Amino acid sequence: MKKLSFFDKVSYGFGDLASNVVFTAVGTYLMFFYTDVFGISAALVGTLFFVTRMWDAISDPIMGMIGDRTQTRFGKFRPYLLYVPIPLAIVAVLTFTTPDMDESGKIIWAFVTYILLMTLYTAINIPYSSLPATISDSPVERGQMASFRMVLAFTGALLVNASTLPLVEFFGDGNKQQGFQYTMILLSAVMIVMFWLCFSRVKERVPMIKQHSSLKDDFAVVIKNRAWWVTILMGIPLFTFTIMPFAVGMYYFTYIVGDASKAGMFFTVASLGMIVGSALMSQLVKRYSKRNLVIAGALLSMCLISNLYWVDPSDVYVIYAIIFFNQLSKGIAASSLWGLVADTADYVEWKSGRRVVGLSTSSATFSHKFGMGLSGALVGIGLSFAGYQAGVEQTAESAQMILLFMSLIPAFGAGCIVVIAYFYPITRELEDTMQSELRATREANRAN
């Protein structure tokens, strides 16, 4: 199979740049927007995030099965990059819109728009994440695609984190409700363009095997597969605790550091760390298995992020340094996990003889969204339990809770990732054996 060019890999990465232009805003600012701008309680926001994750447990595998059964002139998964971005953009803007309603109306608005936003994200992100298994059958090239994906994803995150608060101020001129709405209109327009650029360049090239379409058989082979389950169990804490410093960052700088204006630099430095870590992964994957890179990245993160518990809040440059290297290590781990997604799909096919790329991919996409929602839910419920009140000086209990979410709790999550990743079954040696046998099977299938 023809090797992928540099531009092929960059073009694939445009898709996650598109996703993160909007979803960095969701992961970083939506919790703060709901409590301090929109005007609903932290406990209610936590409930919203948790309820939506329950829906994701249903919608993600459904979307995976739909993708596996899609047949168009554009391929199986590419069409979703063309058709879903516009409705996704509209709902993203509505999510950051504050309607003129009473409290009950606002609660309904928040639930409907956020759940619909996550559903549309499912409709585009599972097909997008499934593409590497159809673009190349090389484990190294897939790892590099994951690296390019994450570099551009965190580049999008960097741009959003560096520009959102200034844009809110510019568009709102003191009116944060208007500022967030107009900012999301701009970011959503950028998202559409990036998804369409990705669609125009990527091609599905790995031959599909001929098989009888059976939902029962697809589910049976996937849920019995060890690699699929371990991918889910790795992904949930990885994404939960990677996102947590972003989810709690506005609270940390507003109430612990005492200067909310310094949060923008914190988010920017954190995104830079993720970019550097993801770029390093594209070279490290040539020598080390993606499983071992997940373990190494999580272990380093555990040692780094815990230090924020003891740092003097006035030492902002020390805080910036810790978060940079912590997110660098998380960038290596997160990129490696996304690289494992296509390997897991192949492992399912190798073990069972059935190719179920979309359903296999749902393990990582579900854990991504579940982690993002769980992070927000934990922060929201934890702050509410500690007595958080928006816009006032925090009690010792609520300040302590913010600090824990910034440091020791993410460190604990990183330790969980190290333990879980140890049980992932695909080693570098098994990758080579598996791909050799799968190529022979696919060629024989195509010849028949």
Q: pLDDT tier at 28 (50, 70, 90 boundaries)?
A: confident
* 4-8, 365-369, 376-380, 386-390, range with the lowest pLDDT: 365-369
**Alpha carbon distance 27, 25 (integer Å):** 6
**Alpha carbon distance 401, 255 (integer Å):** 11
Class of residue 432 by CB neighbours under 10 A (exposed 0-12, middle 13-18, buried 19+): exposed
Which of 395, 277, 256 has its CA nearest to residue 330? 277
Q: pLDDT tier at 375 (50, 70, 90 boundaries)?
A: confident
Number of H helices, E strands in the chain: 17, 0
**Alpha carbon distance 222, 274 (integer Å):** 31
What's the sign of the alpha-carbon dihedral 170, 173, 177, 178? negative
Q: Where are the domains of the chain?
A: 10-203+215-441
Q: pLDDT tier at 282 (50, 70, 90 boundaries)?
A: confident
φ/ψ region of 138 (left if φ > 0, alpha if ψ in -120 to 50, else beta) reads beta
What average pLDDT does the segment 62-87 reach?
A: 88
DSSP code at position 261 = G
- pLDDT higher at 162 or 197: 197
pLDDT tens figures, 127-154:
998 888 888 878 788 788 888 888 888 8
* 7-16, 61-70, 103-112, 116-125, range with the lowest pLDDT: 61-70
- Count Cα neighbours of 100 within 13 Å in the Cβ-side half-sphere: 1
| pLDDT at residue 210 in the model | 62
Kindly indicate whether the domain formed by 10-203+215-441 is annotated with CATH number 1.20.200.10.
no
What average pLDDT does the segment 355-367 reach?
A: 76
Q: Are 431 and 420 in contact (CB under 8 A)?
A: no
- Per the listing, tokens 């954190």 go with 270
The single-letter code of the amino acid at 153 is: A
Residue 99 has pLDDT above 60, yes or no: yes
**Alpha carbon distance 192, 188 (integer Å):** 6
Residue 1 has pLDDT above 60, yes or no: no
| pLDDT at residue 240 in the model | 87
| pLDDT at residue 228 in the model | 86
- Mapped onto helix, strand or coil, the DSSP state of residue 393 is coil
Residue 369 has pLDDT above 80, yes or no: no
**Alpha carbon distance 105, 129 (integer Å):** 35
The single-letter code of the amino acid at 345 is: A
Which of 172, 158, 134 has its CA nearest to residue 25? 158
What average pLDDT does the segment 345-355 reach?
A: 83
- What are 318's two structure tokens? 């020390």
Burial profile 161-185: b = 16 or more Cβ within 10 angstroms, e = fewer? bbbbbebbeebbeeebbebbbbbbe
- Count Cα neighbours of 415 within 13 Å in the Cβ-side half-sphere: 10
**Alpha carbon distance 235, 195 (integer Å):** 24
- Mapped onto helix, strand or coil, the DSSP state of residue 72 is strand
Share of the chain above pLDDT 70, in %: 96
Q: pLDDT tier at 447 (50, 70, 90 boundaries)?
A: low
- What are 315's two structure tokens? 């030492």
> Within a 10 A sphere around the Cβ of 109, how many other Cβ atoms?
18
Q: pLDDT tier at 92 (50, 70, 90 boundaries)?
A: very high
* 81-85, 92-96, 190-194, 227-231, range with the lowest pLDDT: 227-231
Write the DSSP assignment of 324-388 as a string of letters.
Answer: HHHHHHHHHHHHHHHHHHHHHHHHHHHHHS---HHHHHHHHHHHHHHHHHHHHHHHHHHHHHTT-
- What are 304's two structure tokens? 């780094």
- pLDDT higher at 232 or 372: 232
- Mapped onto helix, strand or coil, the DSSP state of residue 75 is strand
| pLDDT at residue 130 in the model | 85
pLDDT tens figures, 191-234:
999 999 999 988 888 766 665 666 777 777 888 888 888 988 89
Residue 356 has pLDDT above 90, yes or no: no
| pLDDT at residue 214 in the model | 67
What is the pTM for the complete model shown?
A: 0.73
Residue 373 has pLDDT above 80, yes or no: no
Share of the chain above pLDDT 90, in %: 32
Q: Are 187 and 25 in contact (CB under 8 A)?
A: yes
| pLDDT at residue 213 in the model | 62
Rg (CA), the chain: 21
| pLDDT at residue 420 in the model | 94
| pLDDT at residue 211 in the model | 59
pLDDT tens figures, 254-274:
999 988 888 888 988 988 898
**Alpha carbon distance 40, 26 (integer Å):** 16
What average pLDDT does the segment 309-333 reach?
A: 93
**Alpha carbon distance 324, 304 (integer Å):** 10
* 344-348, 424-428, 439-443, range with the lowest pLDDT: 439-443
**Residues counted in the chain:** 448
Alpha-helical segments (H) within 202-260: 215-223, 226-251
DSSP code at position 308 = G
